[in-house]
Amino acid sequence: MARGGPQYVCQSCGAVHPKWAGRCDGCGAWNSLAEEVPAEAPPQGPGLSQRRRRGRVLEVASLAADVAPPPRLATGIGEFDRVTGGGLVAGSALLIGGDPGIGKSTLLLQVSAALAAEVPCLYVSGEEALDQIRLRAIRLGIASHGVQVAAAASVGDIAATLDRATGPGAVVVDSIQTLYVDGLESAPGTVTQVRASVQELIHLAKRRGFVLLMVGHVTKEGMIAGPRVVEHMVDTVLYFEGERGHPFRILRAVKNRFGATDEIGVFQMNDRGLAEVSNPSALFLADRGRDASGCCVFAGIEGSRPVLVEIQSLIAPTAFATPRRAVVGWDGARLAMVMAVLEARCGLAFANADVYLNVAGGLKVSEPAADLAVAAALASAASGRPMPEDAVVFGEIGLSGEVRAVARDEARLKEAAKLGFTQAFAPARRPGGAARMGGIATVEIAHVADLIARTGGGATGKRTVGRARYG
């Protein structure tokens, strides 16, 4: 049977095109088509298609059955176990992505060293030589923990090593973009190679029952490189986030078949590797400035834990017709919405000013409960009056300026009281809602204008922020 001609596969979405084009029709990415030669299909007999159409009768079972939860393999690293749902499940596949140099290899090497006390562990690297891995292990102080290492990129060689009765119980593959299957003619890192390599390793992990941890590169947009089908194939997808200038690293779960999603683990990078941060709120607020306008402490929820973080804003006059809006750690579109509400409902105007917003510490906040804290920071920066240093703020803002209730308000207040805060600006309690927790005075805010009036940022008439204010 003659082999088909070359085809062009998008490296972003996996769409197949019969000829090369500058733009992918599937996802709209530019210059993402790469030429690949499809594998030769096996010949089919005359009765094969009919046998496939007949199929077989499936065995069905009742949904109401007693099922024990899967046993967990705890690593002993509390923050990692928190994100994975309490530990690793035998036969599961985890995919960890992050920017280059953020510490993915360091994290997984420390996890392998922690697991080596329970099960045999193998660390397979397709990017680094064995001596490089040994030097990192010596620097981390884990060279004597019994982790086996190998340098390989062929999936066939890796599968032959793992497909044994005395194989390891946990395997780390760094990274999936370096793997290749011998039967495919495409280069390593292409969609075909990544998909085939991951599929073969996952099937082997399910059959042999070992934990598979894989490292994935990310694109410039911050997403894991390769086809999206890889994220659907694995059981857990973790993102390792952080800023180069900050020592903090955030491990975030975006998919977990054996636990909750949106859980985070906080680490701190030092000369001995990654150290756990058991109280991230105290760490994020350690360098908080005092009596500074434009700063506000937000009581947020990340996964199952409350986290307090400082939100900073700066308003500066501009001489350009289009003022600048710069946001770090928050959604820029949501900042535009909060500014529009402050202009339309509270009399503030930002048309002639540059607005900068920053979430201190490198944490990325995504929940809507940060709206009220951002509004408080903007109002404080506009008026030049600092927020009370012993106050926390949280609440969601609607387009009419009303402040909406958010989930787990008592957990936020309890964390704030534990760190020494004495008052909180929170949404008004709903009728029949639970009573506020004692120990911290709660000022209930029904409208965003009430917050600005209570903090000294209110004004009668239109307040112009920009040239009229600073000029």
The CATH superfamily assigned to 73-278 is: P-loop containing nucleotide triphosphate hydrolases (3.40.50.300)
Supply the angle between the helices 332-346 and 371-383 in degrees, to the nearest 10.
Answer: 60
Q: Which residues of the chain have pLDDT under 50?
A: 1-2, 431-435, 458-471
pLDDT given at position 432: 42
pLDDT given at position 362: 79
String of DSSP letters for 212-272: EEEEE-B-TTSSBSS-THHHHHSSEEEEEE--TTSSEEEEEEEEETTS-SS-EEEEEEETT
- Which among 249, 219, 254 is positioned nearest to 235, based on CA atoms? 254
User: pLDDT digits over 167-188, tens only?
Assistant: 899 999 998 999 999 988 888 8
pLDDT given at position 157: 95
User: pLDDT digits over 299-356, tens only?
Assistant: 999 888 899 999 999 999 988 888 999 999 999 999 999 999 999 999 898 988 999 9
String of DSSP letters for 250-262: EEEEEEETTS-SS
pLDDT given at position 219: 73
Residues contacting 249, CB < 8 A, separation 6+: 102, 103, 107, 240, 241, 242, 266, 267, 268, 269, 274
DSSP letter assigned to residue 28: -
Provide the whole-model pTM. Answer: 0.77
pLDDT given at position 162: 94
pLDDT given at position 428: 84
CATH topology classification for 287-470: Ribosomal Protein S5; domain 2 (3.30.230)
